Structure 1
């Protein structure tokens, strides 16, 4: 993300106004039809101010995603239990706090922007929190992280679209179960495989 003027209090206030303006426009209009001029007009700012802070309107949303990520990451860093179900519980606890925003983003089919942001932010955070203890090849870890982020984003979309959202604790159970599902081996198939190996001897 190439958002400009980080740490400037006047700039930060301008960003908040532009975030608010964009999200309000998205309530009534297709995201791809919203212009920079409409954002700045609704925020009471100039186009010059917009381009001092952003290169595109996508970066406004990326800034929102980044704040959600920082909230999630700050909780993860305090955890001793880094199993997938507990990570899921924390993930959906944070997502639940931002449900209205994420539902709006999902309605406009913009969650791939969030996925792109997480793909960028997860590897360094993983290395710091867990990576030093891993003995797997670095490339394999990168594939695993890509699988993880894609999987969680797909589950997030399904969760947002569900008419009755499961609680973070229920989602932790779902993730625990699908790990078991992937590891499941049919006892009959195991018996056939064993008999085949035995007959080959």
Structure 2
């Protein structure tokens, strides 16, 4: 078994190959335009064969989505483990986590693929809400719209912060987000 309790075997080998391919693509995305990256480039960078690439993934987009999904899963775990009493607490976890992955996020923005991270986040939005929201929101009509609104707001602020050079600390960003509700 691996560290997550999954059985090792063919699936572990395929998962590891996809991870290596995803990492190779990410490095290539920092070096040249996304549209110019070929399957051969990715396979060579990952030190795998083109056959391994085609056996494990359908497209480059799948590799980017894989990395986005893994990061969002990690974020949800971090959120689940945090003490969240106020909006500021949620914002602090959010900005602290994404600061650690700013290089990847900047690469997504540069390649015009920032929407993928929000898409993967939206797949977990109900879990994020149940972990981070006050019980007073349990009966909000059309909560799905409020959740989409908040997720979009957080990620738009995150991307704007990155575009401006991420000069503020995660704590300063948490204060900024917490103050938005009072404007």
Gaps of 5+ in 1: 1-5, 182-201
- Structure-1 residue corresponding to 2:182: 180
Kindly state the Cα deviation for residue 100 of structure 1 after the two structures are TM-superposed.
Answer: 1.6
* More helix, by proportion: 1
CA contact (8 A) 2:91 2:178 kept: no
- Structure-2 residue corresponding to 1:186: none
TM-score of the aligned structures, taking structure 2 as reference length: 0.83
Aligned CA-pair RMSD? 2.3
Provide the aligned length of Structure 1 versus Structure 2.
174
Gaps of 5+ in 2: 1-6
Runs of 4+ in 1 over 3 A off after TM superposition: 127-133
User: 1: CA distance between counterparts of 2:131 and 2:75?
Assistant: 15
- Structure-2 residue corresponding to 1:71: 74
> 5 Å matches for 1:3-14?
8-14=11-17
Secondary structure of the 1:115 match is: helix
Kindly state the Cα deviation for residue 126 of structure 1 after the two structures are TM-superposed.
Answer: 2.5
Moved more, 54-63 or 87-96: 54-63
User: 1: CA distance between counterparts of 2:135 and 2:165?
Assistant: 41
CA contact (8 A) 2:83 2:89 kept: no
- Structure-2 residue corresponding to 1:32: 35
Larger radius of gyration: 1
TM-score of the aligned structures, taking structure 1 as reference length: 0.77
CA contact (8 A) 1:89 1:171 kept: yes
